[in-house]
């Protein structure tokens, strides 16, 4: 922010800000008649801004409380999975790793996108069956023949032997979200 007379607070402004700050403090007090539990975060931000303006004598906004907490937290580099490799961990080239590990903020935080994508894929497949007459019966018969492939991000047939018997060893290694959802009707 540029230094200009318009950005500076006058003595009257500071007095007005102090009155405002006292009102905010009152509203944050649980015994006060205007206390609202749902407004406490917003009031804390107002208090933070007003205090900053009184302390600096300038108009403008400080870094928000939420962002200050974020900035004070652990280094963003330390939360990256690449920086947390231990001895024996394998580094995969980007060509190989793109299918196995999609880089996103959710993956870096440990959230599994595959389960979300699997639910969407199952819903899309089911809606395709339900569009045609008799589709629900066909869906109920055929849904157990498929699984969601997390590497290719699509629905695939469960491998079978020559007698069309599903490979139980393969099926046992699948996660629950890769198998068809259970209809609770």
The model's pLDDT over 1-53, given as tens digits with 9 standing for 90+, comes to 455 567 788 888 889 988 988 888 888 888 878 777 777 888 888 888 888 88
* Residue 184 forms part of a structural domain: no
* Residue 137 forms part of a structural domain: yes
* Residue 59 forms part of a structural domain: yes
Contacts made by residues 80-88, CB under 8 angstroms, sequence distance 24+ = 80/108, 81/107, 81/108
Q: What pLDDT does 41 receive?
A: 81
* Residue 16 forms part of a structural domain: yes
Q: Which of 99, 91, 97, 95 is nearest to 151 (CA)?
A: 99
The model's pLDDT over 90-136, given as tens digits with 9 standing for 90+, comes to 555 454 455 455 555 555 555 567 778 888 888 888 888 888 888 88
pTM value is 0.40
* Residue 22 forms part of a structural domain: yes
Provide the strand spans (E) within the chain. Answer: 146-149, 154-157
Number of domains in the chain: 2
* Residue 133 forms part of a structural domain: yes
- Structural domain boundaries enclosing 32: 11-72
Q: Are residues 120 and 171 in the same domain?
A: yes
Q: Which of 185, 174, 183 is nearest to 143 (CA)?
A: 183
CB proximity list for 183: less than 8 A, separation 6 or greater: 140
Residue 29's SS3 state is coil
148 CB burial (10 A radius; 0-12, 13-18, 19+):
buried
* Residue 64 forms part of a structural domain: yes
* Residue 63 forms part of a structural domain: yes
């Amino acid at each position: 922010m540029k230094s200009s007379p318009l950005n500076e607070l006058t003595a009257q402004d500071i007095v007005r800000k102090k009155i405002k700050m006292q009102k905010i403090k009152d509203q944050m007090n649980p015994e006060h008649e205007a206390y609202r539990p749902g407004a406490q975060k917003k009031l804390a931000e107002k208090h933070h801004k007003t205090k900053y303006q009184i302390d600096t004598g300038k108009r403008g906004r400080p870094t928000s409380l939420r962002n200050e907490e974020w900035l004070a937290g652990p280094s963003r580099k330390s939360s990256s999975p690449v920086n947390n490799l231990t001895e024996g961990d394998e580094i995969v080239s980007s060509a190989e790793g793109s299918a196995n590990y999609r880089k996103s903020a959710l993956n870096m935080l440990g959230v599994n996108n595959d389960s979300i994508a699997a639910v969407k894929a199952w819903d899309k497949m089911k809606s395709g069956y339900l569009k045609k007459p008799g589709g629900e019966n066909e869906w109920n018969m055929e849904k157990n023949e498929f699984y969601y492939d997390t590497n290719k991000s699509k629905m695939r047939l469960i491998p079978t032997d020559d007698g069309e018997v599903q490979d139980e060893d393969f099926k046992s290694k699948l996660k629950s979200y890769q198998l068809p959802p259970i209809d609770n009707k």
